[in-house]
Amino acid sequence: MKSRERNIAAMFEALSEEYDIETSPYTIADRSFTFVSVRDSYVLLDRISPEDFVKDEQMPYWAEIWPAAVMLSEFIMEELVVAGKRIIEIGAGVGMTSVAAAAMGADVLSTDYSEEALRFIRLNSLRNRVSVSTEQLDWRCIRRHDSFDVLFAADVLYERVNLLPIIYAVDKLVKPKGCAYIADPRRRLAEQFLDLAFENGFSVTSHAKSFSRGKQVIPVNIYKLSRALWEHA
C-alpha cells in the first residue's frame, strides 16, 4: 500500500474510533467527490464540557455538511475562476467548500475554530486528491497579518453575536481588491448581516440558489462582499 493510501486509512480508522462517521458521495459540477462527516452532530454535545460551552458557546455545527456548503461548492466550480488565487475559508467544517476550490486550482487555507474539524478537512482533502492547508482560526480574534484574494464561508450567520466579527474578519483577511462569498440558507439574521456590511463600507450582490435532495428544497443565497470603492473581482 502506498504512503498516501496508508495515511488515508490510518486517519479514517482514527476518526471512526472516536466518532460515528459516514461517507457520502456528491457530484458537483459533474465531478465526483466523497466526504467523511459525523452521522449525527448532536451526539457531540456530550463531548462539550459546561465550562467550555459557557466560555465559547460553540455548538458542533462543523461536523455535518450543510446545504449552503453544497451550493457554495457548486457555485465555485461552475461560476467562478479561482485557479491560481489565494483562498481562505472560515468556518470550514469538514471542508467541502475548501476541497471544491482546491479542485479548481486554488491555493486554499481551510480554517475552523474547532481543531476536531481540521482532522476531517485533512482527510477529505486527501480522499479527494487535492491539496488544502489547514489552520485553527477564531474569527472573533484574527491574528494573521497576510491577506487573501477570496474568502469563502457557508452557513455562518446563525448567531447574532457572529455577524460583526465576520464583517471584521472579511475586512482583515481579504486583499484590497478581493472579495468574499458568504452562503446562507436565507436566515433572518442575514438581513442584519447585510445591513452591517453596508454600514462598514461593503457593497453586496446576491445570487439565489436552491438545494434539492429528494422532496427537500432549501433556498440558499450567496452574498458577494467587496469594498464599495474596489473594483469587483
Asked if residue 219 belongs to a domain, the reply is: yes
pTM above 0.85, yes or no: yes
Which of 37-51, 64-78, 93-107, 176-190 has the least mean pLDDT? 37-51
| C-beta of residue 172 within 8 angstroms of C-beta of residue 151 | no
Per-residue pLDDT for 119 more than 80? yes
* Buried b / exposed e along 93-109 (16+ C-beta atoms within 10 A): bbbbbbbbbbbbebbbb
Q: Quick count: other Cβ atoms within 10 Å of Cβ 13?
A: 9
Per-residue pLDDT for 194 more than 90? yes
Higher-confidence residue of 2 and 54: namely: 2
Q: What is the mean pLDDT of residues 43-60?
A: 59
Asked if residue 191 belongs to a domain, the reply is: yes
Asked if residue 158 belongs to a domain, the reply is: yes
Question: Could you read off the pLDDT of 65-93 as tens digits, one per residue?
Answer: 999 999 999 999 999 999 999 999 999 99
The CATH number that applies at residue 133 is 3.40.50.150
Question: Could you read off the pLDDT of 8-19 as tens digits, one per residue?
Answer: 999 999 999 999
Asked if residue 233 belongs to a domain, the reply is: no
Q: What is the mean pLDDT of residues 146-154?
A: 98
Specify the number of domains making up the chain.
1
Per-residue pLDDT for 109 more than 60? yes
Q: What is the mean pLDDT of residues 200-229?
A: 92
CA atoms of 108 and 130, how far apart (whole Å): 10
Higher-confidence residue of 229 and 55: namely: 229
Q: Quick count: other Cβ atoms within 10 Å of Cβ 190?
A: 18
Per-residue pLDDT for 231 more than 50? no
Question: Could you read off the pLDDT of 17-48 as tens digits, one per residue?
Answer: 999 999 999 999 999 999 999 987 656 756 65
Residue 206 belongs to domain spanning: 3-227
Asked if residue 46 belongs to a domain, the reply is: yes
Share of residues in the chain with pLDDT > 90 (%) = 83
Which residues, in sequence order, are CB contacts of 57 under 8 Å at separation 6+? 159, 161
CA atoms of 120 and 223, how far apart (whole Å): 26
Which residues, in sequence order, are CB contacts of 3 under 8 Å at separation 6+? none
C-alpha cell at 66: 450543510
CA–CA distances in Å: residue 159 to residues 7, 119, 164: 36, 25, 10
Asked if residue 232 belongs to a domain, the reply is: no
